[in-house]
Amino acid sequence: MTAPRVELSEVLPVRGGQADGPRVAVLVSLNFPDLTEPVADLVRRFTSTALQELEDRGARWHLVDTSAPLPEPDTVLDTDAVLLLGGGDVDTELYGVDGPAPNEYGVDADADRFSVDVIRGAVDRDVPVLGICRGSQLVNVAFGGTLVPDIADFALHHGDHDADLFVDEEVLVRPGTRLQDVLGCESLVVRTGHHQAVADVAPGLRLAAVAHDGTVEGIEHPEAWVIGVQWHPEDTDGPGAARESLFDALLDAARERTES
């Protein structure tokens, strides 16, 4: 059977324009290992939605396909913001676990290391970073944190791989965090479909949101503009308010950087 393939043309925004706003580097693996057709459809839909949200806000986005030959991280960092989208599992070697994780899927060690380099470089340059799902996990790993390789009691976090992988989940946002300020609430229902999550929050980061079972659902830097959310705000099957708030906040932070 021929493996599915996601083409760049399939994720381009429907509505385009002559954007002159902040530049955003968007990191996503369009064709990571083990890709199936249902997951390829999710990659198409989620990536397209994320790029459309940027276009609608006048951002000049640049997609970096981390499953393709990789450029030097410094070339990506000539930007005003970084957005890391979801995808396959993070290489266990990066967070100190020997051997493959249970139910491991879609690991691309080169993409992981490249993304970690970009995250670290962005923080060094005071470039705002938003990580979604895998992107949030990579933010934690970049700062020295660990991951849960496979959530044993997964019912809150994902559905059936043969039916609907994504489920609605209530997330509790920590008071006094940047994430709470962005979302304007202390709880919200999100779309989620993950079998891994942050375990130990990295030194230098702080917990920003949790699930009802205590699973980490959001992290952030207390000083730099760095936020990671475990859920998928770019899933159009879920509510749009949180998606709009997160993308608005990222672009506001990028504009503040360019104006300072």
Could you write out the DSSP letters of every residue in 210-252? EETTS-EEEEE-SSSSEEEESS-TT-TTS-SHHHHHHHHHHHH
Q: Which of 133, 194, 217, 220 is labelled catalytic? A: 133
**Phi, psi at residue 243, to the nearest 5°?**
-60, -50
Alpha helices in 125-173 (DSSP H): 134-142
User: Which residues does residue 219 pair with via DSSP β-bridges, in sequence order?
Assistant: 207, 228
The neighbouring-strand residues paired with 220 are 206, 227
Dihedral-angle region of residue 171 (phi above 0 means left; psi in -120 to 50 means alpha; beta otherwise) = beta
Q: Which residue has the tokens 């340059």?
A: 125
Hey, what are 167's tokens?
């489920």
The continuous run of DSSP H or E covering 119 comes out as: helix 109-124
Annotated active-site residue 133? The verdict is: yes
> E strands within the chain?
23-28, 60-65, 81-84, 129-132, 147-148, 167-173, 187-192, 197-198, 206-211, 216-220, 226-229
Q: How many Cα atoms sit within 13 Å of 6 on the Cβ side?
A: 28
d(CA 73, CA 118): 6
As a whole number of angstroms, the distance between CA 238 and CA 217 comes to: 16
Give me the active site residues, please.
133, 232, 234
